[in-house]
Amino acid sequence: MPASVSSEWLNACSGCEISILNIGDALLDLIPSKLTLVHIPALVDSKYFGPLGDGSHVALPEATVGFLSGAIRNQEHKEVAEEMRRKAKILIALGTCATNGGIPAQANMWPNQEVFEKIYRKSVTTDPVETPKDVVPPYTDRVMAVDEVVKVDIYMPGCPPHPDLIADAILALLDGKTEWKLDERSVCDTCPVVREKKAAGGADIKRTLQSVTYNPEEPVSKMRCIMEQGFLCMGTVTKAGCAGKTGIPRCIQAYMPCEGCFGPIRKTANPLIDMVSALSSIGQNINSLQDRRAVLNRFCGAHGKLRPLPAPPKR
């Protein structure tokens, strides 16, 4: 009897759903013989208000496994998340937006009114108008991770999560397990570069306006650690897993620093404090890092990590 799967996307971009498709050929081993897709807006015509559009409230079908991607940005996302929680036995927060807020949680640096002011009243191509409010769902007071609204059973971070990890979790659940999680390791733990435990140059952090030093004819394991080369690399404070169960961290493969897309190593971690200590251990100065608050919380602005700063005192 196949297990039923329901999936919804909230303040999302659809990258996590495409990552599921990137499981590739193995998908057809799972669907339809082991999994039935009962609700997934990208692929299946299951509707909130019934097939004739006459229902009065958001209704989702029951499912063994429910996926939620995207964070919570408006009242409808909240409603859908709550309905998914009611109808799914096991709820998976899929992707870093769902687990930590993701990039759209950068909006938490402003009060909602300022977001609307820019979009609808301060755009060079838009004549100023009132913020739309007919039918469209109002914003929640901040962008929230899924677990700020409903209980989450399995956390699958990543922007996007690697298809091998998604497949791994699904197979574990089909095998009767009710838990699945990533190890609490850092990206550095999976990165093969050369480390000398000190910065190669001066104390100031370099912006990625120039390329890192690399030799494309040699393996990545011969490259000097990007952070030691003097660039800001989020590897030390970011959860491992981006290349799947094995493999070199994906951005490092392209000679770019890690940007932290799997979120913090553990729920209680504070990237700012951890990064200060990592940088000073190789002799680098955190104060030379510009746009620090946004950079260090790029993917984890929910859970109160990003909020509007109080206005500076008037003199």
Rounded CA-CA distance 6/54 in Å is 21
167-206: which residues touch another protein (CB under 8 A)? none
b vs e for 65-75, b when ≥16 Cβ sit within 10 Å of the residue's Cβ? bbbbbbbbbbe
Are the C-beta atoms of 104 and 24 separated by less than 8 Å? no
Q: Strand 88-94's sheet: what is its strand order?
A: 35-39, 3-9, 63-69, 88-94, 154-156
Tell whether residue 18 is a contact of another protein (CB under 8 A). yes
- Per rule CB under 8 A, is residue 277 in the interface with another protein? no
Asked if 286 is part of the footprint of another protein (rule: CB under 8 A), the reply reads: no
Q: Please identify which residue in 4, 65, 72, 73 interacts with another protein, judged by CB under 8 A.
A: 73
List the end-to-end C-alpha distance of the chain, in Å, as a whole number.
70
Residue of 63, 84, 103, 302 that binds another protein (CB under 8 A): 103
Stretch that binds another protein, among 165-173, 192-200, 251-259, 267-275 (CB under 8 A): 251-259
When binding is defined by CB under 8 A, the residue of 41, 79, 192, 267 that contacts another protein is 41
* 24: contact with another protein by CB under 8 A: yes
Region binding another protein by CB under 8 A among candidate stretches 19-27, 177-185, 187-195, 268-276 = 19-27
Question: Is 88:64 a contact under the CB 8 Å cutoff?
Answer: yes
Residue whose CB is less far from another protein, 75 or 277: 75
Q: Quick one: which of 233, 275, 285 has its CA closest to 255?
A: 233
Which residues ranging from 130 to 149 are in contact with another protein (CB under 8 A)?
A: 130, 132-137
* 303 touches another protein by CB under 8 A: no
Q: How far is the CB of 133 from another protein (least distance, A)?
A: 6
DSSP annotation of 40 reads -
Question: Which stretch in 146-154, 167-175, 245-253, 262-270 sits in contact with another protein by CB under 8 A?
Answer: 245-253
Asked if residues 234 and 187 have their Cβ atoms less than 8 Å apart, the reply is: yes
Residue 141's φ and ψ, nearest 5 degrees, are -70, -15
Nearest approach, Cβ of 155 to another protein (angstroms)? Answer: 19
Cβ-based nearer residue to another protein, 127 or 175 = 127
**59 versus 172: smaller Cβ distance to another protein:** 59
From candidates 66, 102, 264, 271, binder to another protein by CB under 8 A: 102
Q: Are 273 and 286 in contact (CB under 8 A)?
A: no
For residue 292, the surrounding DSSP H or E stretch is helix 292-296
What is the spatial distance between Cα 150 and Cα 79, in angstroms, rounded to a whole number?
Answer: 10
Report in angstroms how near the CB of residue 90 gets to another protein at its nearest. Answer: 21
From the list 25-33, 176-184, 271-279, 307-315, the region that binds another protein by CB under 8 A is: 25-33
Closest residue by Cα to residue 75 from 122, 147, 142, 127: 142
Q: Tokens 């509007």 — which residue?
A: 308
Phi, psi of 38 (to 5 degrees): -95, -25
Question: At closest approach, how far in Å is the CB of 97 from another protein?
Answer: 9
Locate 310 and state its tokens. Answer: 């109080």
C-alpha 163/C-alpha 95 separation (Å) is: 11
Q: Which of 62, 82, 119, 200 binds another protein (CB under 8 A)?
A: 119
Say which amino acid occupies 56.
S
Number of residues that bind another protein (CB under 8 A): 86
**Minimum CB–partner distance for residue 150 and another protein (Å):** 19
In the shown chain, the binding pattern of residues 203 to 242 toward another protein, with x for contact by CB under 8 A and - for none, equals ----xxxxx--x-xx-------------------------
